[in-house]
Amino acid sequence: MSTGTSLSQRLQAEFAAREQRVKAQEQTRAEESKRREERLEKFTKVCDEMKSVWSPRIDEFVRQFGDQIKVVPSITPSQREAKVVFLTDLASMTLTLSVAPNADVTSMVLGCELLIIPMVFEYERFSRLEMPLDKIDKEAVGKWIDDRLVACAKAFLSVKDNNFYIQRAMVEDPVSKVKFLRTDAAATLEHMGHTYYFASEETLKQYKQQQQITD
């Protein structure tokens, strides 16, 4: 009997010990979750304070490029992002600027990714800057953003001056056989599932007559 009682007590002790460990782990997770939420609140506050640094710079970038770009902002509790789409027939070009916390929400991480497809020359595709939430250097952040935006502008201008991209975007007038950029077309025509580009309204008229197309 004593042996059975001893065994029972030992088994109960093991189950009780595990229950205590589980409760301790749950409490630890709850406390860590609370601390993480507090750090996320701090991250949000830092982002609000940093608007005075990055907003004027992005606004100036948009002003300089005008209708050559489209900006799509995105805001979530854990990330701020601005996606800039360059409206050009030469290449697919997208700039993504992002701000997010690191894994344990102790630092602010700024990211800049520039994607050009197809890629035929070397450029800075990705850059990252990380700073502790309690030691943000606004001047350094401003300089980093300036450098990224200037590098992006240089890449965009390189695309516009690159013969590979220019030739790739060329179209030909089916009547005059003159080649030009799509954006320089004087007229276009959708016919039989295909888009035709014309150097002038006159060649468009001639093409319609040749193909017996009536409006």
Structure-token match 């009547």, residue found:
175
- Domains of the chain, by residue range, sit at 36-163, 170-211
Contacts of 26 (CB under 8 A, 6+ apart): none
The structure tokens listed for 104 are 């344990």
Q: What's the angle, vertex CA 11, arms to CA 8 and CA 14, rounded to 5?
A: 150
Q: Tally Cβ neighbours within 10 Å of residue 116.
A: 22
pLDDT at 2: 59
pLDDT tens per residue, range 23-82: 888 887 877 778 888 999 999 999 999 999 999 999 999 999 999 999 998 888 788 999
pLDDT at 35: 82
Domain 36-163: top CATH class: alpha beta
> What pTM does this model have?
0.74
Spell out, as residue ranges, where the chain has pLDDT lower than 70. 1-4, 215
pLDDT at 115: 97
pLDDT at 89: 87
